[in-house]
Amino acid sequence: MIAGEDVPSDHCQAMPDNPPSRVMSLKKPLHRQTHGLIAQPSAMASGFAPGKCILFGEHAVVYGHPAVAVAIDSGVRVSVERSNEWTLEGIPFEPSRHPHISHILNAVFEYEGPPLKMEVESNLFSAAGLGSSAALSNAIGAALQAHINPGQSLDPISLARMGHSAEAMAQKGRASPTDTATSALGGCIVVSGQPVDGTKHVFDAELETPEGIREWSINSVDLPDSLREAYLVIGFTGEMSSTGKMVADVAKRLERHPELREEMNSIGRITSAGLTAMSAGNLEAVGMAMDACHGKLRLLGVSSPSLESLVEAARPHSLGAKLTGSGGGGCMIALARDPQRVAEAIEVVGGRPLISRLGAPGVRLLED
C-alpha cells in the first residue's frame, strides 16, 4: 500500500479513462524539466514532505471563509534511483494504480529517462485528513527534481503547484491547495478566497473545476516562539473518511436547514480569533478557539462517536481539542503542553496517537 494512494473515493481515484485534457490552470506555468536537460543524473535522490492538520476553518473554507493549517513532523519520504526496470516498493510499477506519481512523472516532469526504482515510506495515517497524498506528490516531486538536476535547490512554490495539479487530476478536477501548499511550504498556512489580514501572501492558486474556475490566496503566518511550548497530539479514530462525501453531506444539510449557514459564519469568526491568538502566541486562546470550532463542526453534523470519544478523552489534559479535516472519522487534534499525557488518554479509549510540533518545516531533500 502506498502512502496517500490507498485513499477511498474522491481523495484518490484510479486514473480516469478519459482524463480531462486540462484540469489545472495556474497563474504561473508549472515548473517543467525534461530528461533532455539531464547532465548527470544522481545515483539516488530522496525527498521528504510533511503531512498537515487543519487547526481552524474546515468546511467553512468551502464557503469562502479562511482555513488555517500547520505542517506536522510526520510525512512521506520518497527515494528514486536508476534501474533496469520500473519498480515501486520492489514490485513492478503500474502507472494507472498510482495517479499522483504518474502525473508528476509524465505531465509535470515529462520524464523520458531510464526506468526508476522508487521507494516510499510514510508515517502518516492514510485517508485520515493528514494530507498523505499531497505529501506523496511533493516528496516525489522533490526526489525527481534532485535526481534530474542534482545540486539545484528546491522551489517549494513550484512543488506546491505540482502537487496541487496531481491532486486535481486524481480528484476529478476538485482539490483545494491547502494540503499541498502546507506540505510544501511548512509552518502555518492560511488558505482563503482573498488575502487575509495579519498574514504574508505567498502565492495564488487557480483551478479549473467542473463547477468553474476557483481561486485561492495562499498566505503564511510566523508562529511566535511561545507557541513552541505546546505540541499537537493527533488521534486517529481508525476510521477512514471521504472528504467528498462529507462536503456533499454538509451541502445537503445546509439546503434542508438554511439556518446552519450561521454556524458556517461562526466558524469563520472563530478562525479569525484563532489566527489572532496564534499570532499573539496566546496558547490558552488558541485552545479555546479549537474547542469552539469543534462545537460548530458538531452542529454541522461532521463529528462521529469515535471522534467525540477521542476529543472527550483528550480535553481534561489539553488546552483545546477538535476534529480535524472533513470529519466523519479520520483524526482529531489536541493542543497540549504535556503531549505524552494526552497521547496516553487517546490510546486508552482506542485511538492511535501521533505527537508533532506545531508548524514543522516543509518539503526538503534528504541526504542518504
Are 52 and 182 contacting, i.e. CB atoms less than 8 angstroms apart? yes
> By CB under 6 A, how many residues form the interface with ligand PMV?
15
- Taking the C-alpha atoms of residue 176 and residue 206, their distance in angstroms, rounded to an integer, is 9
Residue 10 — φ and ψ, nearest 5°? -70, -20
Nearer to ligand PMV among residue 62 and residue 288 (C-beta): 62
Pick the binder of ligand PMV from 133, 138, 165, 243 (CB under 6 A): 243
Applying CB under 6 A, the span of 14-22, 77-85, 144-152, 323-331 interacting with ligand PMV comes to: 323-331
Are 128 and 236 contacting, i.e. CB atoms less than 8 angstroms apart? yes
Helices and strands (H, E) in the chain, number of each type: 9, 13
Question: 3-state DSSP: the chain helix, strand, coil percent, rounded to 5?
Answer: 40, 25, 35
Applying CB under 6 A, the span of 53-61, 96-104, 161-169, 350-358 interacting with ligand PMV comes to: 53-61
Alpha helices of 235-304 — where are they, by DSSP H?
Answer: 243-256, 261-280, 283-299
C-beta of 242: minimal distance to ligand PMV in Å?
Answer: 9
Applying CB under 6 A, the span of 241-249, 310-318, 338-346, 356-364 interacting with ligand PMV comes to: 241-249
- Taking the C-alpha atoms of residue 311 and residue 222, their distance in angstroms, rounded to an integer, is 27
74 sits near ligand PMV (criterion: CB under 6 A): no
Quick one: 152 exposed, middle or buried, by C-beta within 10 A (0-12, 13-18, 19+)?
exposed
297 sits near ligand PMV (criterion: CB under 6 A): no
Pick the binder of ligand PMV from 61, 168, 307, 343 (CB under 6 A): 61
351 sits near ligand PMV (criterion: CB under 6 A): no
247 sits near ligand PMV (criterion: CB under 6 A): yes
C-beta of 136: minimal distance to ligand PMV in Å?
Answer: 14
- Taking the C-alpha atoms of residue 220 and residue 196, their distance in angstroms, rounded to an integer, is 10
44 sits near ligand PMV (criterion: CB under 6 A): no
Contact track, ligand PMV, 176-215, x by CB under 6 A: x-x-------------------------------------
Distance of CA 129 to the CA centre of its chain: 7
C-beta of 134: minimal distance to ligand PMV in Å?
Answer: 9
Run of H or E including 364: strand 364-366
- The three cell numbers of residue 347 are 490510546
Pick the binder of ligand PMV from 5, 58, 167, 263 (CB under 6 A): 58
Nearer to ligand PMV among residue 79 and residue 242 (C-beta): 242
* Cβ count within 10 A of residue 198: 13
Nearer to ligand PMV among residue 130 and residue 142 (C-beta): 130
Nearer to ligand PMV among residue 219 and residue 326 (C-beta): 326
Nearer to ligand PMV among residue 220 and residue 242 (C-beta): 242
326 sits near ligand PMV (criterion: CB under 6 A): yes
| CB-based contacts of 267, cutoff 8 Å, min separation 6 | 56, 57, 59, 60, 65, 293, 296, 297
- Taking the C-alpha atoms of residue 51 and residue 34, their distance in angstroms, rounded to an integer, is 28
Nearer to ligand PMV among residue 247 and residue 260 (C-beta): 247
Q: CA 327, 58, 131 angle in degrees (round to 5)?
A: 70
Nearer to ligand PMV among residue 217 and residue 326 (C-beta): 326
59 sits near ligand PMV (criterion: CB under 6 A): yes
Where on the chain is the footprint of ligand PMV (CB under 6 A)? Answer: 54, 58-59, 61-62, 129, 131, 176, 178, 243, 246-247, 325-326, 330
